[in-house]
Each structure stands twice: as C-alpha cells, then as structure tokens.
Amino acid sequence: MTPLPSEPTGTLAETVDSVPSRLKMAVHGFRQAPIAFRFGGILVIAFIAVAFTSIWWTPHDPIAIAVEKRLAPPGWPHLLGTDALGRDVLSQLMEGARNSLLIGGLATIAAMVPGVAVGLLAASAARNKRLLLSRAADVGVALPGILIALVLATAIGPSNLTSVLAIIAWFTPVVVRLTIGPARQVLALPFVEAARAYGRGRSFIALRHVLPNIGPLLIVQASAMFAAAILIEAALSYLGVGAPRPTPSWGRMLNESQSLIEIAPTLVAFPGLAIMGAVLGFNLLGDGLRVLLDPRQEAHTVAV
C-alpha cells in the first residue's frame, strides 16, 4: 500500500502535482474501509461486471437447447455444466445476473423517488396530513409484499413488469416511513428555522436543506433494498410469477432444477450461490456504508 503524500515537499508546483487523483483517493479510502465493506464492494462490482458482459458476450447461447448434451457435469466446453435441456449454465447465470440487476435497479429507483417525495411532503406538512400519510404508510408496510405480487400476477399475468411493479408497491411505503422520521429530525434543527425566518418556502427547505442531510441514510437504504429486490425477484420467478420463459432468471433456474437435486446437485448450487453472492454483496455494502456514514441507524431488512 502506497501511503498518501502528507507533507508538502519541494516547490509549490511540485506540491500541486503530487495531490492524489480522485481515483487514487477512492482506492485509498477503499483500502481503509472495514473488510466486510470491501468484500461487499467486490461482490457488487463483480455482479455488475458480469451483468454488463452478458450484453455483448456469453460463452454459449444461453437459450440454445441441445438435448444430446443435457446434464453435462462442470467441465469443458461448458464450464458450469448444462441443464436438463442441454442449455449452458454459465451463460444462463450471466444473463440471469442482467435480469436481476435490471429489475432490482429499476424497482429500487422507482420506489425510492416517490417514497422520498411523499416522505418529505408528509414530514413538512401540517400535523393531520402528516399523521394520515404515515398511517397509510404503516398499513402499506404491514401488507405482505407477496400478496401484492400474486394479485398483480393474476391481473396482468407473469412478467418482468409484474415483478417490478410488485417490488415498487412493496417498497414505496417502507421508504415513506423511513424518510419521515429523519426528515422531521432535520426540520427541527436551528438552520432550518433560520431558513424559514429568511422566508424560504417548504419545498425549498425540503429539497435544499432536508434532502442533502438525509441523503447518506437514503443511500444505505437503497443498498439494502437492492439486496431485497434481488431476493424478491428470484422468489417471484421461482414461483413462476416473474420473467416468462425463455428469459434466463436465477429463481426459475432453481425451480427447474429442484427435482434434479439428487442427480445434478450443481444445477441447484450455482444459481443458489449466485443469488446469495449478489444479495450478500449489497447487504454488506449497505452495512458498511451505514457504519461509515451513519453509525446509529439500524438498516431496515426484508427477509424473504
């Protein structure tokens, strides 16, 4: 590990030159971080890299059926073997990563934006309106998300859209509830009072003063939710409510190989490990961020 230059040496120009680049700073910060956070970060980066690689390249065609090569054990040319229809497991896992990333990312962002907006609105609203909104959020949090997902699937049929909509409906009330509390804490601070005395409106204060102050906390939540979203997507596609065939998805790979657990245990192990790794990565990343940014906050966790 190269130590950061701490004392200015030589002339002024040399000092300016020796100021570390942003990249170097980032690498240095990463090396100083707790080991769990680093491990999580590596898992997440690997997950994203695999997902993007699968857009341009996979070792084989993930949906090409070759019955004569079915249930091949891990080896060459199929590194992780083939499934019951002779499809390449590694290629399917790579495309599955893309599916998870897409749905998890879309759903998390689409739940965070309205959730934070409503939460900020509720926090800065008058008492009655605030209580009404937070009670509504409480009811939303109490509903089991799977119920929303299954009812949606009956209404519009199983698809990726169903998964995304279900996760949005599941998470938005959680985000609302997690925003209201901290936002109200910030609103009680003296500098907000000063802004109010200066004549700033509610929405200005919410966006310019409250949002930046609860930002770190929201980033931590987003990471935890990403992890939960990947789990939920896998659970939904396991139940046959998520992405329809032949789109590769980790949950359905598990479902299809469930009955083969005795003959080909690797078919269960690889998608299982993939889900675990991705979820663990985002969980650790969120936990590490929480420790770094806001040690007192307990992350909201969703068990699936």
Partner 1 sequence: MLRTLGGDVATVILGQNATPEALSALRESLGLDRPWTTQYLDWVSGLFRGDLGTSYSARFDIFEQIQSRLTVTLALVMGAVLVSSVLAYLAGTYAALHVRDRRGSLIDVIAQIGLSVPTFLSGLLLIGFGAIRLGWFPAGGYVSWTVDPAASFRSLVLPVLALATPVTAVLTRYVRSAMLDVINEDYIRTAMSKGRTRSASLVIHGTRNASITLVTVITLQIGALLTGAVVIENVFTLPGLGSMLVTAVQGREAIVVQSVAFVVLLLILGLNFAMDLAYGVLDPRIRTAGVDRS
Question: Which residues would be at the binding site for partner 1 (CB under 8 A)?
Answer: 36, 141-147, 150-151, 153-157, 227, 231, 234-235, 238-241, 251, 254, 258, 261-262, 265, 268, 272, 275-276, 279-280, 283-284, 287, 298, 301-304
CB of 302 to partner 1, least distance (A): 6
DSSP state of 67: G
Judged by beta carbon, residue 152 or residue 210, the one nearer partner 1 is 152
Judged by beta carbon, residue 62 or residue 281, the one nearer partner 1 is 281
Judged by beta carbon, residue 45 or residue 55, the one nearer partner 1 is 45
CB of 60 to partner 1, least distance (A): 25
CB of 80 to partner 1, least distance (A): 17
Judged by beta carbon, residue 90 or residue 264, the one nearer partner 1 is 264
Tokens 């675990």: give the residue: 276
CB-based burial label for 122 (10 Å; 0-12, 13-18, 19+): buried
Sequence-distant (≥ 6) Cβ neighbours of residue 65 within 8 angstroms: 85, 86, 87
Judged by beta carbon, residue 74 or residue 240, the one nearer partner 1 is 240
CB of 61 to partner 1, least distance (A): 27
Q: Under a CB-based contact definition with an 8 Å cutoff, are residues 59 and 88 in contact?
A: yes
Contacts by residues 136-144 (CB-CB < 8 Å, ≥ 24 positions apart): 136/173, 137/173, 137/174, 137/176, 137/177, 137/180, 138/173, 138/177, 139/173, 140/169, 140/172, 140/173, 140/174, 140/176, 141/173, 141/174, 141/177
Judged by beta carbon, residue 156 or residue 194, the one nearer partner 1 is 156
User: What does the alpha-carbon distance between residue 160 and residue 242 come to, in Å, rounded to a whole number?
Assistant: 5
Judged by beta carbon, residue 15 or residue 258, the one nearer partner 1 is 258
User: What does the alpha-carbon distance between residue 160 and residue 102 come to, in Å, rounded to a whole number?
Assistant: 10
CB of 238 to partner 1, least distance (A): 5
CB of 24 to partner 1, least distance (A): 30
CB of 51 to partner 1, least distance (A): 18
User: What does the alpha-carbon distance between residue 70 and residue 82 come to, in Å, rounded to a whole number?
Assistant: 6
Residue 38: other Cβ atoms inside 10 A: 16
